[in-house]
Every structure is written in C-alpha cells, then in structure tokens.
Amino acid sequence: MDLTIIQIILIIIIAFIAGIEGILDEFQFHQPIVACTLIGLVSGELTACLILGGSLQFIALGWANIGAAVAPDTALASVASAIILVLSGQGTAGVNSAMAIAIPLAVAGLLLTIIVRTLATGIVHLMDAAAKDGNIRKIEMWHVVAICMQGLRIAIPAALIVAIGATPVREMLQSMPDWLTEGLAVGGGMVVAVGYAMVINMMATKEVWPFFAIGFVLATIPDITLVGFGGIGVALALIYIALTKQGGSGGGGNTGDPLGDIIDDY
C-alpha cells in the first residue's frame, strides 16, 4: 500500500506523540490499542490495525517499569508494527506477521530508550546549572528538549520504515516461514498469560477476588458482548463504592491490601 504525503506526515506525528507519551503516561497514546488504531485511522487500514492493537495490548499488559528495570518499548512496537502492517497491504491476514515483528521491535525500542535516557542525564545537569542561576525559562527549554528526544526516538524509526516502502516490507513479511510466525504467535500467547498473572498478582486482595469469580462465570455466557461486560463492570464498581461508603470501610479499611492501606494513610 502506497501512502500519500499527508498520511505519512500524520503517521510521523502520531509516532512522535506516542514516543512522548511513553514517558509522560498522561493520555496513553503509546498504548497499542490507541497507537495502532490511530495509525490505521489515518492510513485507511482501521480494521486491521485495530485488531493488531487489541492483540498487542494483551501482550503489553505485563510490561511495566519496575525500579531501574525498564520494560520493553510499547510505543515502538505499536507504531512500527502498525506501519509495517499497513505497508504490507495484507490487511487482517497480516496481523500475525506484524505481531511476530512487534516483540523484537519492543526489545530494540528498549535499547533506544536507554540511549535517550542516558543523553537526558546530561540535560539534567544543564537544568541544574540553570536552576542555580535562577533561569526558569532555560529549565523549561531543556525540559522540552528532553521530552522531544523521547518523541524522536519513535518518530525517526517510523519515518525510516515508511521510507523503505511497501514492496520491501511486503516481501519481508511474505518470506517469513510459517514455523516462525506461528512460533512467535505461541510465544506471544505465553507472554499474555504472564502479563495477566502479573496484573492479578498486583490486584489480588480479599475485596477483589469475588469480582474475579463473577467475571469468570459471566465469561461463559456467549450472548454477553464486550460492551455488556463493560456495563456490568461499571455497575459492580459503583455498587462496591456505595457499599464501602455505607459500611465506613473505605480508604484505610482495605485490610486486604497492606500497601494500599499505607498509601491511603500517608
């Protein structure tokens, strides 16, 4: 699929914003379900990119920065795999191949973000010097420069992938053997299971386990749509909030989560 100049510019802008959001975490544009969908929207491949984003989102559920350990780069994996899917022209048939490429791209993005963070350390020293001089404008300028560096670490690879063109990308995806794509798909499924396990481990409290049980039971009913599940989840959350307020056990009464109690008390 050949992209127009306007589409290329919009894709690079989305990639730039996704790179920034990978650090700010304010509007979550770097999440696969958002970044892939936006690229599909501007490129005319909305359905395929939406499926790709949803699939990658399940994999990325377990990716989180823990202390000094930096998680694989969700932004680059989302943006680059979506662009490759669009350029391949395979539509929904190329989702598995794009997902297979997303994992190594996430690892490559991890290296890029480490490089950028290392460069940002020097910028911090420049900001410290500006702070000693009381130059607030200079501090803000370096802050913007550091954030823009994070955006460029995604925008530049995105522009390079677009510059390669549709034909080489299509040939690369078509040349991938079935055993590789299927094997990576199985590996991606295992990563999904690990991600869910990490999420459940963080959320597992005495108050939450009944809702897990209700969710698993409702999941066996095939007539309930995702919208229906969302409505049920919101209703249960509102009921839980109302009951905790009436029982006076809100906030510090969450004895099932000691860390939450400490944070609430603090």
Please check whether residue 47 lies inside any domain of the structure.
yes
Does 265 score more than 70 pLDDT? no
Domain boundary among 160, 178, 196: 178
Same domain, residue pair 88 and 166 = yes
> How far is CA 173 from its chain centroid?
23
On average, the pLDDT of the chain sits at 80
Residues 6+ apart with CB under 8 A from 200: 212
Residue 92: band (very low, low, confident or very high) from pLDDT cuts 50, 70, 90: confident
Which pLDDT does position 211 carry in this prediction?
Answer: 83
Please check whether residue 257 lies inside any domain of the structure.
no
Same domain, residue pair 172 and 197 = no
Tokens of 167: 């034909």
Same domain, residue pair 82 and 21 = yes
Same domain, residue pair 214 and 132 = no
Which pLDDT does position 226 carry in this prediction?
Answer: 78
| Percent of the chain predicted with pLDDT > 90 | 24
Which pLDDT does position 245 carry in this prediction?
Answer: 79
Which pLDDT does position 214 carry in this prediction?
Answer: 87
Same domain, residue pair 173 and 208 = no
| CA 215 – CA 218 distance, rounded (Å) | 5
| CA 124 – CA 62 distance, rounded (Å) | 30
pTM over 0.85: no
Q: 166 phi and psi, to 5 degrees?
A: -75, -40
Same domain, residue pair 97 and 173 = yes
Q: Please state, as a whole number, how many other Cβ atoms lie within 10 Å of the Cβ of residue 175.
A: 8
Q: How many domains does the chain have?
A: 2
Residue 251: band (very low, low, confident or very high) from pLDDT cuts 50, 70, 90: very low
Between 222 and 109, whose confidence is greater?
222
| CA 82 – CA 172 distance, rounded (Å) | 15
Please check whether residue 183 lies inside any domain of the structure.
no
Range of the domain at 137: 5-178
Please check whether residue 254 lies inside any domain of the structure.
no
Same domain, residue pair 122 and 28 = yes
